[in-house]
Structure 1
Amino acid sequence: MRHSVLAAVGLVVMWSSGFVGARLGTAHAAADTLLAWRYLVVAVLVGAVAVVRRPRLAGTEVRRQAVLGLLCQALYLAGVVTGVGMGVPAGVAALIAVLQPLVVGALAGPVLGQRVRPRQWAGLVAGFAGVAVVVAGDLGGGGHVLGYLLVVGGMLALSVGTLLERRWRLGTRPFDQLTIHCLVSCGVFVAAAAVTGRLAPPAAPGFWWAVLWVVVLSTFGGYGCYLLALRAFGATGASTLLFLTPPTTMVWALLMFGEPVGWTTAAGLAGCAAAVWLVLTRPGTRPSRPGRSTTHAESPARV
C-alpha cells in the first residue's frame, strides 16, 4: 500500500515538473534551445546504455517507433514548450495537454473501429468546454493566441501518436522505446536549433538548472514513476492519475512564478473533472483491480 501511494504521488509530481521546467527554461532561452540540450543530455545517457545492452529490434519496429517518437515527443513538446515560452501559463498548458486521453477515447471509434459510448462523447465536450473557459479568460487578459494553438497542436500530435501506437501494438520494451523516441527527438531539436542559429546555450546558470530539472525530474523521473504506477494501478489507473497534473502544476506555478489561479481556471478544472468521471466510469460496474492490464501502455501526455 505504501509503495502504491509513493508511486501515485511520484507520478503526479514528476509529470507536473515538465510544465514547470518548460517555464523555467524558456525564461533563459528559446524553446528549441532548451529542448535541444535536454535531448542531447538524454540521448547520450540512453544511447550509452543501448550500446551496452545491444537490443535486437526489427527494422519495421525501429521505423515505427521513430514515427511515434516524432509525434509523441518531438512535435508534442515543440508545441507545448514553445507555447509556454510565448506566455501560456504552465498550469493551463497542463490542462490542455490532459485532454489527450479524451481525444483518443473519442477518435478510437472511427479510427480503430472501437465503440464510443455517449458518455465518452459527453466527457470530451465537457473537457473541451472546461479548457475553453480557461483559455478564454487568459486571452481576455492579453494572452497570445498562437501560443495556445501551439499547445493544442502538440496535444493533437500526441493523440495521433497514441492512436498509431494502439493500432500497431509493437510490444517494444519500455526502455528501448524511450531510447528510440529520445534519439529521434534529439535529432529533430538539434537540427531545428542549428538551422535557426539558436543551438549555442546561454551562459545563465538558470538555463542549466532548467536542463537538469527536465532531464532528471521530467524525463527519467516522470517515465520511471509512470512505469511504477503501471505496476501498481494498471494502465487505466495510471492514466487517470495524470488528470491530477493540472491542479498540481498550477500550485507549483503559483508558488514559484506567482501565476494566479482565477475563477475561470477553477471552472475549467471542474469541467475537466466532470469529463474524467464521464469517460472513465461505467454505470453499474466496478473499476478494475490495480495491477491489471499493464502489458500495453498508451502514450500519456508528457513534457
Structure 2
Amino acid sequence: MTDQSLSRTAPNERRFLWPLMAALLIVSWSSGFIGIRYASQEASVMLVLFWRTLLSGLILLPFALSIGPRLRPRAIAEQMLFGVMSVFLYLGGFALAIEQRVPTGLVALISDLLPLAIAALSQPVLGERLTGRQWLGTAIAVAGVLIVSIDSLSFGAAPIWAYGLTVGSMLVFAFASVLHKRRRTGHLPVHQSLCIHTLTASVLFGICAMMQGDIAPPLTRGFAIGMIWLVLIATFAAYSVYYTSLRLFPVAQVSAAIYLSPPVTMLWAWALFSEPLTTAMFAGLAVTLVGVWLTSRR
C-alpha cells in the first residue's frame, strides 16, 4: 500500500477502518507467542529469530524488487536503520534478556508497556498531545496489563544489565515507531520496507546464532510449524498492519491496541496448548478494554 493511496483515505473511512485494523493488529501481534512456543523447543532463540527474519526477507525480496518505487541507496540505508532498531534490537534484546534468566513474565510485562513509552514520546517528537481522557485510558490499560501479568510476575537472579536491556529494547522500538511516524515523505510501501528490515536483522541474528553454534535449522515438524506461524502471522501480518496503521492513525491510538496482547496471548495458549485461564486474566482483559477504548475514542 503506497502513501498516495493512504492519503486518499477519507477521515470518516479511517474511523470505520480502525476497529478492523486494531483487531488484526491485536491478533497478529499476540500470535508471536505461538510460533516461539513451537520453534524454541527445537532450537535456541537466536536461531529461531535468524530463520524467522531470513525467510521473511527472502519471501518478500522478489516483490520488493519488482513492485513499488525503485530502491535507492539512501532509502535502503534509512530502512536498514529502522530494521536494526525495530527488529534486531527489539526482538534480540528480549531474547538475550531471557537467556540471561530474566523471568519471562517480567520480560513480557515490560514489552507490553510499549504503548506507554510511545505515548510519552509522541508529544515531544510528533507534537501529538494526548488529552486527559487518553492519559486516563493509558493508566487504566496499564493497570489491566498488570492484573493479567501478576500471576507470572517474579524477579530472578539475572545480572542488572539484563533487566536494563529489557527496558532499553522496549524504548528503542518506541523511538523507532515515533520516528517512522514523523517521516512525512519518503515512505516506501510496506512490503519493501519490511523486506529491508528483516534481511538486515537476519544478518545480525545470523552472526549471533553462529557465535552460539550451528545455524542449520532443525528438520522437525515443530520448528517448521513455528516458522510458518512466525513468518506469515507474527511478521508479515503484525508488522504490515502496524506500519500501515501508523500512517493512518495517531501513534498513541495505534500503540494502545497492543495493551490487549497479553490477555489475547493467554487465549491463544488456552486454545492451542490447553493452558488454564484464570480469573485475573478475565479481570485484566475487562480493565484493559476500558483503557484502550478511552485512549482510542475520538
- Range class of TM-score, shorter chain: 0.7 to 0.9
Alpha-carbon spacing, 1:34–1:67, altered in 2? closer, same or farther (3 Å) = same
Superposition pairs for residues 47-86 of structure 1, below 5 Å?
47-53=61-67, 55-80=69-94
Contact in 1 for aligned 2:53/2:199 (Cα 8 Å): yes
In the alignment, what sits opposite 1:18? Answer: 32
Alpha-carbon spacing, 1:112–1:13, altered in 2? closer, same or farther (3 Å) = closer
In the alignment, what sits opposite 1:28? Answer: 42
In the alignment, what sits opposite 1:301? Answer: none
Equivalent of 2:231 in 210, 215, 227: 215
Q: Deviations over 1:220-252 (max 9, x none)?
A: 34456668x85xxx5368766655443332111
In the alignment, what sits opposite 2:172? Answer: 157
Tell me the number of residue pairs that the alignment of Structure 1 and Structure 2 aligns: 276
User: TM-score, structure 2 length as denominator?
Assistant: 0.73
Query: Which residue type is aligned with residue 139 of structure 1?
Result: L
**SS of alignment partner, residue 259 of structure 1:** coil
**SS of alignment partner, residue 42 of structure 2:** coil
Superposition pairs for residues 134-173 of structure 1, below 5 Å?
134-140=148-154, 152-169=167-184, 170-173=186-189
Question: Quick one: distance in 2 between partners of 1:139 and 1:98?
Answer: 13
Deviation at 1:193, TM superposition (A): 0.7
Deviation at 1:10, TM superposition (A): 5.1
Deviation at 1:55, TM superposition (A): 4.1
Contact in 1 for aligned 2:88/2:205 (Cα 8 Å): yes
Question: Quick one: distance in 2 between partners of 1:200 and 1:246?
Answer: 32
Deviation at 1:148, TM superposition (A): 8.0
Query: Runs of 5+ in structure 1 lacking a partner?
Result: 282-286, 288-303
Deviation at 1:162, TM superposition (A): 0.6
Question: Quick one: distance in 2 between partners of 1:144 and 1:257?
Answer: 28
Query: Runs of 5+ in structure 2 lacking a partner?
Result: 1-16
Equivalent of 1:103 in 117, 123, 132: 117
Superposition pairs for residues 272-283 of structure 1, below 5 Å?
272-281=288-297
Contact in 1 for aligned 2:35/2:229 (Cα 8 Å): yes
In the alignment, what sits opposite 2:11? Answer: none
User: TM-score, structure 1 length as denominator?
Assistant: 0.72
Alpha-carbon spacing, 1:254–1:153, altered in 2? closer, same or farther (3 Å) = farther
Deviation at 1:144, TM superposition (A): 8.0
Percent of matched pairs sharing the same residue: 35
Query: Which residue type is aligned with residue 203 of structure 2?
Result: G
Q: Deviations over 1:256-303 (max 9, x none)?
A: 23333333333433443233133223xxxxx4xxxxxxxxxxxxxxxx
In the alignment, what sits opposite 2:9? Answer: none
In the alignment, what sits opposite 1:206? Answer: 222
